[in-house]
């Protein structure tokens, strides 16, 4: 079956512009996560959606970052007024959300802010 | 403060030998541990996990050992194969519905011919 997909795969933008990153989770997965991997760093948790519950936004680095999950499926991560330090690979993952912590990752979106 | 630490950024191992990747954690509330493998330009893929009620879990060539008193876990790959060259992330979480997983920075494993 289809895995987690993300688009675009690469995005180059100018400092100060807004960007939107999209994630399509595996069908039937109720939990969805966004992570960021900067150069030389581990995976940094950003935000977590579980079903209809309020998302866990505790990892969002600033109020320029926001995410939505429409209809419990597709999610969009939006970064407003991008800064150079936002350059990273943004990874989306999904899981069944039943307590099975195995997460399935998408290929990531590589964001470069010039 | 890093709660999950992988102190070796890279490791080189001869093909056919054992690869041992180490991971330390600081939060004693963690009770579920995972290893992920990542190839360049791809997302991480789940490799193997272990719950704190066990001290060893084996899956084919991969074995994870957990030492709770030392807050240390390790991943053993034997025998190492060229396709094992990748970045390996150690991760930890607390059980229950808190699915937020904390990852280490990763260790890049090179399998030498």
A17-37 tens-digit pLDDT: 999 999 999 998 888 999 998
Q: How far apart are CA B72 and CA B26, in angstroms?
A: 9
What pLDDT sits at residue A95? Answer: 85
Would you say A39 and A103 are in contact if contact means Cβ atoms under 8 Å apart? no
Q: What is the pLDDT of residue B75?
A: 98
Residue in chain A closest to B39 (alpha carbons) equals: A107
* Residue A30: Cβ-neighbour burial (10 angstroms; 0-12, 13-18, 19+): middle
What value does the mean pLDDT take over residues B76-91? Answer: 95
Residues from A in contact with B at Cβ < 8 Å: 4, 31, 33, 35, 40-45, 48, 50, 56, 59, 91, 93, 95, 97, 99, 101-108
pLDDT at B64 over 90: yes
- The answer, yes or no, to whether residue B2 has pLDDT greater than 80, is no
Give the residues of chain A that fall short of pLDDT 50.
none
Q: Which residues of B touch A107 (CB under 8 A)?
A: 41-43
DSSP single-letter state for residue A84: G
Query: What are phi and psi for residue B27, nearest 5 degrees?
Result: -90, 115
Q: What is the percent of chain B with per-residue pLDDT over 90, rounded to a whole number?
A: 65
Tokens, residue B10: 């890279």
Pick from B109, B110, B103: nearest CA to B36: B103
Q: What average pLDDT does this structure show over B99-108?
A: 81
Helix (H) / strand (E) containing A11: strand A10-13
Written as six digits, the tokens of B13 are 């191992």
pLDDT at position B97, please?
47
Indicate whether B98 pLDDT > 50. Answer: no
Quick: pLDDT tens for B19-61. Answer: 999 999 999 989 889 999 988 767 788 899 998 999 999 999 9
How confident is the model at residue A23, as a pLDDT? 97
Mean confidence (pLDDT) of chain B: 90
Look at B34 and A101 and tell me if their CB atoms are within 8 Å: yes
pLDDT recorded at residue A2: 78
């Amino acid at each position: 079956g289809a895995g987690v997909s993300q688009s675009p795969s690469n995005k180059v933008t100018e400092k100060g512009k807004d960007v939107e990153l999209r994630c399509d989770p595996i069908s039937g997965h109720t939990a969805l996560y966004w992570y960021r991997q900067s150069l030389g760093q581990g995976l940094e948790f950003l935000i977590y959606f579980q079903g209809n519950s309020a998302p866990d936004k505790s990892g969002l680095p600033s109020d320029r970052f926001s995410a939505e999950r429409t209809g419990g499926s597709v999610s969009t991560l939006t970064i407003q007024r991008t800064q150079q330090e936002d350059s990273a690979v943004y990874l989306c993952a999904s899981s069944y959300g039943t307590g099975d912590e195995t997460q399935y990752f998408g290929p990531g979106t590589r964001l470069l802010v010039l | 403060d890093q709660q999950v630490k992988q102190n070796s950024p890279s490791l080189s191992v001869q093909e056919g030998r054992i690869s041992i990747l180490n991971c330390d954690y600081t939060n004693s509330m963690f009770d579920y541990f995972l290893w992920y493998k990542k190839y360049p330009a791809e997302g991480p893929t789940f490799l193997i996990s272990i719950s704190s009620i066990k001290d060893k879990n084996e899956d084919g060539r991969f074995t994870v050992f957990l030492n709770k008193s030392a807050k240390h876990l390790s991943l053993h790959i034997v025998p190492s194969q060229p396709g094992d060259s990748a970045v390996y992330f150690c991760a930890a979480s607390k059980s229950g519905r808190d699915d937020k997983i904390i990852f280490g920075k990763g260790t890049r494993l090179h399998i030498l011919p």
